[in-house]
Amino acid sequence: MEFFYIRALRRFFLLSLLTLSLGVQTKSVLATEKPTILRLTQTAQPQATAKARAGYRQEELRQIRPEYYDLGHYPVTNSNEDYWRNRLWTTAIVEPQEAYVANALNKIVALTQQSGLSESQMRTIEMAMQVGTQLYLSNPAIYASLKQQFLQTIERSNDSEWVAIALSGLAKGDTSPQQLRQLVDRTRARFPGWSPDLVLRTTLQDVAESLSPTPMPPLKDLLNWTIRPGQLHIYVICALPHQVLCRAVLKGRDGKFVQTPVAGKPAQLWSVPLLLSSIHGLSWNLFRGQSPQGIYRIEGTTSPDPETFRAYGQFPLVNLFLPFETGVDKFLPGQKGPFTGSIRDYQALLPPSWRGYSPMEQSYWAGLIGRSLFRIHGSGESPDYFSRQNSKDSHNWNPTLGCLSALERYDEAGVLQQADMPKILNALTAAGGKNFTGYLIMVEMPHLSEPISLKEIEAAVQPRYLTLIH
C-alpha cells in the first residue's frame, strides 16, 4: 500500500478498500475536448475545522500511555495484531519521546531473531521495524537502543527483508562508514544468495552508493529528453534531504515546456512545489518508503472519497504507475498493459548520459519488487496532526507513505484557503486533455539542501515554451 489513507473513524490502513477504490483506467481523448476547470470552493469541510482537528490530535495523544505499551498485557499474538497495528500507527503520528515506548519497540524488534512466527506476528514485527526506523532517525539519543536491536537483526535474523530494513535504517542514521562496510560484508556472508533477493540486493547497492556516490549526469540532458513523443512529461526535481520541497515542472505533448503568465512580469515556467517524505523515513525499495527516483506512467485520476478526505483532501488524485505494476492501460504508447521489459529496455527510455546512473533505475526495481499505488494528492489533515518536523519551507505539507504531497490549507472554520491540486489538474488537463497520459520523471539532486530554483531549471532547458493560460 503506497498512497496514504486514514480512515475517518479509526487510524489503521485498509488495503483492500484502497485497491477497490481505484476503479477502471481512463481512455485517451481528443485534445480538442474542452477541459473542466477546477476552482477553489468556499464550502466548509467539517473535518478541517480547528475544533475537529484538535480533537483528532488529542485522540492520538491519549493513546500514548505506559500501560498501552506493556507487552505483558498485550503480547505480539495473532489476536493482538489489530491492537498493535493501531498502537504503532499512533506512535508514528505522535513520535513520543518516552523510554517505555523505546522499550516496547525493542522487545518487538527483538522477535526478528525468532523462528516459527505466524504471518500475523510477522506483520506486527515488520510494522514495528518501520516505526522503529522513524523514531531512531528522529531522535537517536532516546532511541539508541533500537540501533542495537537492528544490529542484532542483521546478525541473527533469517528474514532477509528485515535485515534490509535494519541495514537501511542504520545507513541513514549515525553509523560510521567503516561500520557500514562491515555490516554490508556481514550481510553478504550471511546471505550468499543475496543477488536474486531484490529487496536485499537493492539495499546493499544503496548503501554502497551512499558510501561512494556516482556523479549525477547533467540535468539539462534529462529535461530536454523525450521518453515518447506526444506525451506529457512532469519533472519532479528534489533535494536529498526529504523534508525539503521538490519542484515540479511540466512539458506539453508538443515537447515544449509550459510557462504561465505573471502579472506585470515576463512569463515563467509553470511549476508547483511537492513534498517527497515518507513518514517512516524508509528507503524507496521498502514498502511504506519514499517514492523511487526514475520513470512513472501518468494515466488520469482517481476520484476523491469523503471518507478519505483527511488523507487525500477534496481533489482528484493523479495516478502514477511503476514498471510492472498492473492496472495501467499502456505504460508505453501502442503497447497494451504494463512495462515488462529488461533493465536495458528501461534504460533506453532515459537519455544516453543517464543510462549508467543507478539512482534513476529505482522505479524499475521498485516495480519489480511489487511497490504500487503511487499518487500525487493533497491532504485534508492538519500538518500539526503529525509530530514529524519538516523544513521551514515545507511545514504546511504532510508526509505520506510514498506518494507526492501537494499543499492544501484550511482556515479554522474548515474553509479552503490554498491548494495546489487544482493547479496541477488544470495544467495537465489543458496540456493533455481530460484523460491525460504521460510520464513523471523524479530525480534527487544530491548537492541541494533547499528547493531548486526556477532560475536553475530555466538555465537547463532549451528556450522553447508553450504558454499556459489559467
307-358 pLDDT tens trace: 999 999 999 999 999 999 999 999 999 999 999 999 999 999 999 999 999 9
Looking up cell 562496510 gives 181
- Beta-carbon contacts of 8 under 8 Å, excluding residues fewer than 6 positions away, are 47, 307, 308, 309, 310
Nearest-angstrom CA–CA distance, 157 and 167: 12
Domain limits at 168? 63-211
User: Are 268 and 189 found together in one domain?
Assistant: no
Number of domains forming the structure of the chain? 2
Give me the pLDDT at residue 22, please.
Answer: 30
257: number of CA atoms within 13 Å, CB side?
Answer: 23
The percent of the chain in helix, strand and coil, each rounded to the nearest 5, is 40, 15, 45
Q: Give me 139's grid cell.
A: 531522535
* 6 pLDDT more than 80: no
- Domain contains 382: yes
- Domain contains 2: no
- Domain contains 57: no
User: Are 264 and 388 found together in one domain?
Assistant: yes
Average pLDDT, the chain: 88
Helix (H) / strand (E) element for 122: namely helix 119-138
- Give the pLDDT band of residue 464 (cuts 50, 70, 90): low
Give me the pLDDT at residue 277, please.
Answer: 86
Percent share of the chain, pLDDT over 90: 76
User: Are 198 and 221 found together in one domain?
Assistant: no
- Beta-carbon contacts of 452 under 8 Å, excluding residues fewer than 6 positions away, are 237, 239, 247, 445
**Residues 262-267, mean pLDDT to the nearest whole number:** 79
Tell me the pLDDT tens digit for each residue of 30-82: 233 444 556 666 689 999 999 999 999 999 999 999 999 999 999 999 999 99
User: What SS3 class is residue 75?
Assistant: coil
Helix (H) / strand (E) element for 273: namely strand 271-274
Give me the pLDDT at residue 30, please.
Answer: 28
- Domain contains 165: yes
User: Are 139 and 278 found together in one domain?
Assistant: no
Give me the pLDDT at residue 306, please.
Answer: 87
Q: What is the pTM of this model?
A: 0.90
User: Are 28 and 83 found together in one domain?
Assistant: no
- Domain contains 55: no
User: Are 343 and 398 found together in one domain?
Assistant: yes
Give me the pLDDT at residue 16, please.
Answer: 30
User: Are 390 and 438 found together in one domain?
Assistant: yes
Give me the pLDDT at residue 37, please.
Answer: 59
Q: Give me 64's grid cell.
A: 500514548
Give me the pLDDT at residue 264, please.
Answer: 78
User: Are 246 and 185 found together in one domain?
Assistant: no
Count of CB atoms within 10 A of residue 421's CB? 25
